[in-house]
Structure 1
Amino acid sequence: MERYAGRVALVTGANSGIGAATARALLRRGLEVVGLDNRIDRVQELARELKDAPGTLYPLQCDVSCEENVLCAFKWIKENLGGVNVLINSGGVCRENLPTTEQIAEWQHTLDVNVLGLSVCTREAVQSMLDRGVDDGFVIHICR
């Protein structure tokens, strides 16, 4: 990971769990990390906690189930940080209800976040890398 120090990583679901742990690890290795989440307050707390890390955490509020939100986040990244080199898709929802008891709206929300949100983030990250000739970037999907 040393070769990625100073580069930009985007972590979805950065407010807790695997997303927060991943953001923390990347920051400690000197990456510039954009932490996306709907609940931005916890990402902001993480940024304050890790203010002395070699990398910098940029909390951005984003609902990945909304394509417009994702496009705005990638626009901000391009304008302020140049583009994405690493994407960690960690954001997602996990329902405890069985498929036989959930309502269609709950299924739709789960698909919008876990499948479409992941896909739109991936499309935008890969395009960002291609536009800048990045040939050593990567995308990791953490499934729920």
Structure 2
Amino acid sequence: MDRWRNKVAIVTGTSFGIGAAIAEALVKKDVVVVGLARSKYKLEELSKKLNKNKTYFHFYVTDITKEEDILKAFEWTISTLGPIHILINNAGIMRFASLTEGKTDQWKQILDTNVMGLCIATREAVKNMKKNNVDGHIVHINSVAGHQASAITSMYSASKFAVTSLTESLRQQLVLDRSKIKVTSISPGLVSTNIVVSALSSSESPYPDITSRTSKLPALQAEDVAESVLYTLSTPPHVQVHELLIKPVGEKF
């Protein structure tokens, strides 16, 4: 990780859970982190936690579903802190919106956040890396749902399948461009975060007991995913971890 010291990383979805854990793990390695999220309050709380000794964590209030927000966040980061070296596309939402009963606005929320936001951020990061001759690293926080379909979370799974495809598409494009920028997809199994609770609060779920059911299942911690991010970033320049799938011991799906 030494080559990333004092370099700039953008992490999307840093309000809580995996994003906050990734931001903290990077800051501990002396990486300058810009956290993007919608909640100014939660970003301020994270800033207080991470900036006790040195100011390595910055933030920019951003709605990842709005292109103008993303562009402004990148412009601020580049003009204030310098070229981007790392992008962690972590922002993501789940909705219990099936293909037969789901609402169109729920589908759009999922695709705008999990796919379009990721694509726009990736485009801007790669453009800046190329402009500054930076051999950077793009990390997509994917999911096991991006490798196996689910009737319960059909559109969420579809969005993560898209991330799996986009990872390979970007890898091939970077090869054609003779670029040494890396791209990695990290696909966790069940993680102990509030994504299920958030999905229930935003959806008319046909599975009212799913929170209690999932709380009893084996689960990773957000810090486990953050450690996997550090692992992929710490590989030597000639090594690219293309896909890393991690599950809690005993996971049944």
Which TM class, normalised by the smaller chain length? Answer: over 0.9
Tell me how far apart the structure 1 counterparts of residues 46 and 37 of structure 2 sit (CA, whole Å): 12
> Gaps spanning 5+ residues in structure 1: where?
none
Structure with the larger RCO, 1 or 2 (CA within 8 Å, 6+ apart): 1
What is aligned with 1:58?
58
Tell me how far apart the structure 2 counterparts of residues 92 and 49 of structure 1 sit (CA, whole Å): 23
Q: How many residues align?
A: 143
- Deviation at residue 39 of structure 1 after TM alignment: 1.3
Distance change (3 Å), C-alpha of 1:94 and 1:108: same
Q: Is contact 1:6–1:55 with CA below 8 Å preserved after alignment? A: no
| 1:1-144 paired onto structure 2 within 5 Å | 1-52=1-52, 56-135=56-135, 137-144=136-143
Distance change (3 Å), C-alpha of 1:4 and 1:66: same
Distance change (3 Å), C-alpha of 1:77 and 1:87: same
Q: Say which is worse superposed, 3-12 or 36-45, in terms of deviation.
A: 36-45
RMSD: 1.3
Describe the SS at the equivalent of 1:60.
strand
4+ aligned runs moved over 2 Å, structure 1: 52-55, 96-101
Query: Larger radius of gyration, structure 1 or 2?
Result: 2
Q: TM-score, normalised by structure 1?
A: 0.94
Tell me how far apart the structure 2 counterparts of residues 99 and 53 of structure 1 sit (CA, whole Å): 49
1:77-120 CA-partner distances (Å, limit 9, x unpaired): 11101121000000011113433322101101110111000000
Q: Is contact 2:97–2:107 with CA below 8 Å preserved after alignment? A: no
> Gaps spanning 5+ residues in structure 2: where?
144-253
Q: TM-score, normalised by structure 2?
A: 0.54
